[in-house]
Amino acid sequence: MARLLIVGSLEGELGSAARVAIARGAKLGHAEGVAAGLERLRAEGADLALVDLRHDVAWLVQAMAAERIACPVVACGRAEDGDAAVRAIEAGARDFLPLPPDADLIIAMLQAAGAAPSREGPIARDPAMTMLLARAAQVARAEASVLLTGESGTGKEVLARHLHATSKRARGPFVALNCAALPETLLESELFGHEKGAFSGAVATRKGKFEQADGGTLLLDEIGEMDPRLQAKILRVIQEREVDRLGGGAPIKVDVRLLAATHRDLAQEVARGRFREDLYFRLNVIALRIPPLRERPADILPLAEHFALHYARANGLPERGLSLVARQALLSHAWPGNVRELENTIHRAVLLAEGHEIGPEAVELTPRAVLTETEAVATLQAAPAVASGPATAPANRVAALVGRKMEEVERDLILETLSHCLGNRTRAAEILGISIRTLRNKLQDYRAAGLPVPPAPGQMAPPAPGQMAPPAPGQMTPTLPVAV
C-alpha cells in the first residue's frame, strides 16, 4: 500500500488529489504545514509527499536532507504559480503537480516514486517466470521470510511488492530499504530509528524502517552488502521481534514480515566469512530466484509493449507499436542490464520515435546490422533460440583491448557506464554488477588521480551531523552543495 503525505489544506484542490490517491489504495497522511509535515515524516515516513506551494517547500526539502529523510517531494499549485514551482524544483522538489489535479498524473507520480505497484502484478509469459510466480503464489500468504535472488535489474523489488500485495499483510505498509545505498552509521539509524539527542544531528525522535513497516512487510534490498555487526542486530530483531532505537531505553515490539534481496550468492559469502551463517538460514526459509531476461526471452516483447504504452501515456505521447525490425533488435540483444535496461531503452524509444511505429532508429542498442523485414520475421519466429544465448562481441573490439592494463580497461568501463547513466551511481553500479560502495571507492581513487568524474544528477549532499540545523519556516535557507 502506497504511503502518501499531503502538506496543506484538504478543503481545496489538494483534497481532490487525496481522494484520487485513496481510490488507488494509498494510505493517506496529512499535515497542515511543513513543520508538522516534517514531524509526520520523522515518525511514519512516506513514499511520496505532495506539498502546497503556499507553504515553504524549500525549507521542507532542506530539512529532510539535513535529517537524511528519503522521500520524493512534489510541489503543488495552480498553473500561474510557475515562478514558485521553479524555485521549489531548484530547491530539490522532484516535480510539479498543477492544480486542479489530473488523476492520471497523480497515478503516474505514485508509480514513478515506486509507491504504487502494478495492479496486474509482474508481467510473465515465459515458462521460467510463470513457474516462479506459481511458487510465489504458494508462499505469499505465509509469514515466513523470503530470500529473493537474481542479477541486478531482474525485478526483485517488483516481486517483493507482488508478494506483499497478495499476502495477508496487503493492507499494511510495504517499506523498502537499499542496504548498499547508505554507510553503516546511517544504515543503523535508518533500520532501527533513534531518539532525540542520540548522536550529533539527531534533532528529533525518528522511527526506523522496522517500526514504519509494523503490521506490513519490510524489504531489505542488497542485504549482502550489510556490515556483519548490523547483521547480528537484524538476527536479533528476527528472533525477538523487537527493536532498540539508538539512544533508546527500552525495546519496541514490531510485527513485520521480512523479505531480503541480493544479487550475490549468499552461500558463497557465508563460506568466505562475509555473511553470518545463522542470519542466512533465518532469511533463506523460502528462496525465489528471478531468472535474468536472457533466460526468459518470451517476456521481452510483452514487457517492451507494456513499457511503451506506459511511457507514452505518462508523457502525453501517441501510443505506438513496435515495428518488426525494432522487435528483432530487442530479441537479439543480450540485455546485461535485464528488465531495468529494457525499460530505459523503451522509455527512450518512446521519446525519440516518429511516425506511427517505434522503429529501430529509436531503439538505441549496441551497433547491429540492419535486417530486411523478411529477416526480421524469420528472427521473430526463432526468438527463444536467438535470445537465449549471450551476444558475441565483435572480434575487433576484443582485439582493441590487447596490450592494455586491466585497471585501465576497468576504469574506462566504469566511467563510460557512469556517463551512459548520466551520473546515476546506483544505476551504474547495477549495470556493472558491483556494489554502490565499491563504485564510490573507485570514483574516489579516480578523482584523487586527477581524472574527471561525471557528477551526480542534481543530487543534494546532506550536511554532516551537527554542521547545520534546518532553518525555521519562512527564514532564508542556505543552498546545499551538489554531490559529485
Average pLDDT over residues 455-463: 53
Average pLDDT over residues 185-194: 86
Average pLDDT over residues 62-80: 83
Domain 294-388 has CATH 1.10.8.60: yes
Q: Identify the sign of the CA torsion 226, 227, 232, 234.
A: negative
Q: Please give the residue that has the higher pLDDT: either 69 or 473.
A: 69
- Helix extents (H) in 174-276: 184-192, 209-212, 228-240, 266-271
- Is the confidence at residue 114, as pLDDT, over 60? no
- What pLDDT does 289 receive? 96
Q: Please give the residue that has the higher pLDDT: either 120 or 245.
A: 245
* pLDDT interval class at 160 (50, 70, 90): very high
Question: Under a CB-based contact definition with an 8 Å cutoff, are residues 78 and 99 in contact?
Answer: yes
372 is written with which cell numbers? 530486411
- Is the confidence at residue 468, as pLDDT, over 70? no
The number of C-alpha atoms within 13 Å of 78 and in the hemisphere containing its C-beta is 4
- What pLDDT does 143 receive? 92
Amino acid at 8: G
- Locate CATH 1.10.10.60 in the chain: 395-448
* pLDDT interval class at 28 (50, 70, 90): confident
Q: Which SS3 state, helix, strand or coil, does residue 72 take?
A: coil
| Rg of the chain, C-alpha, whole Å | 23
Which of 78-82, 258-262, 377-381, 462-466 is most confident?
Answer: 258-262
> Residue for cell digits 504504487?
116
- What pLDDT does 401 receive? 61
- What pLDDT does 475 receive? 42
Its pTM stands at 0.62
373 Cβ partners below 8 Å, 6+ apart?
324, 325
Q: Please give the residue that has the higher pLDDT: either 407 or 112.
A: 407
Mean pLDDT is lowest, of 72-86, 149-163, 306-320, for: 72-86
**Of all helices (H) and strands (E), which one includes residue 429?**
helix 425-432
211 Cβ partners below 8 Å, 6+ apart?
193, 243, 252, 254
Amino acid at 34: V
Q: Which SS3 state, helix, strand or coil, does residue 50 take?
A: strand
**Of all helices (H) and strands (E), which one includes residue 78?**
strand 73-78
What's the CATH number of domain 3-112, 3.40.718.10, 3.40.50.2300, 3.30.1330.30, 3.30.70.1230?
3.40.50.2300
**Of all helices (H) and strands (E), which one includes residue 339?**
helix 338-352
- Helix extents (H) in 92-200: 103-112, 127-139, 156-165, 184-192
What gap in Å lies between CA 457 and CA 459, rounded to an integer? Answer: 6
- What pLDDT does 91 receive? 81
- Is the confidence at residue 73, as pLDDT, over 70? yes
- Is the confidence at residue 477, as pLDDT, over 80? no
* pLDDT interval class at 240 (50, 70, 90): very high
- Locate CATH 3.40.50.2300 in the chain: 3-112
- Is the confidence at residue 84, as pLDDT, over 70? yes
369 is written with which cell numbers? 546490422
Average pLDDT over residues 46-74: 87
**255-to-143, 211, 238, 243 alpha-carbon distances in Å:** 10, 8, 10, 10
> Can you give the length of the chain in residues?
484
- Helix extents (H) in 265-299: 266-271, 277-283
How far is CA 282 from its chain centroid?
Answer: 25
What gap in Å lies between CA 272 and CA 274, rounded to an integer? Answer: 6
292-339 pLDDT tens trace: 999 999 999 999 999 999 888 878 888 999 998 999 999 999 999 999
Mean pLDDT is lowest, of 14-28, 216-230, 357-371, for: 357-371
Query: 350-388 b/e with 16+ CB inside 10 Å = b?
Result: beebeeeebbbebbebeeeeebeeeebeebeeebeebbe
Question: Under a CB-based contact definition with an 8 Å cutoff, are residues 102 and 278 in contact?
Answer: no
Average pLDDT over residues 255-282: 93
What's the CATH number of domain 395-448, 2.40.10.10, 1.10.10.60, 3.20.20.150, 3.10.28.10?
1.10.10.60
- Is the confidence at residue 181, as pLDDT, over 80? no
- Among 22, 434, 126, smallest CA distance to 264 is for 434
Q: Identify the sign of the CA torsion 302, 307, 310, 315.
A: negative
Average pLDDT over residues 68-78: 85
- Is the confidence at residue 481, as pLDDT, over 60? no
Tell whether omega for the bond before 100 is within 30 degrees of 0, i.e. cis: yes
- What pLDDT does 260 receive? 96
What gap in Å lies between CA 91 and CA 82, rounded to an integer? Answer: 14
374-429 pLDDT tens trace: 444 444 454 444 333 344 443 444 455 666 777 788 888 888 888 877 778 887 88
Instruction: Quote the crossing angle between the two packed helices 103-112 and 13-23, to the nearest 10°.
Output: 60
- What pLDDT does 387 receive? 38
Q: Please give the residue that has the higher pLDDT: either 69 or 111.
A: 69
What gap in Å lies between CA 87 and CA 58, rounded to an integer? Answer: 8
Domain 127-291 has CATH 1.10.3720.10: no
Percentage of the chain modeled with pLDDT above 90: 37
**196-to-117, 205, 245 alpha-carbon distances in Å:** 34, 4, 10
Mean pLDDT (the chain) is 81
- Is the confidence at residue 164, as pLDDT, over 80? yes
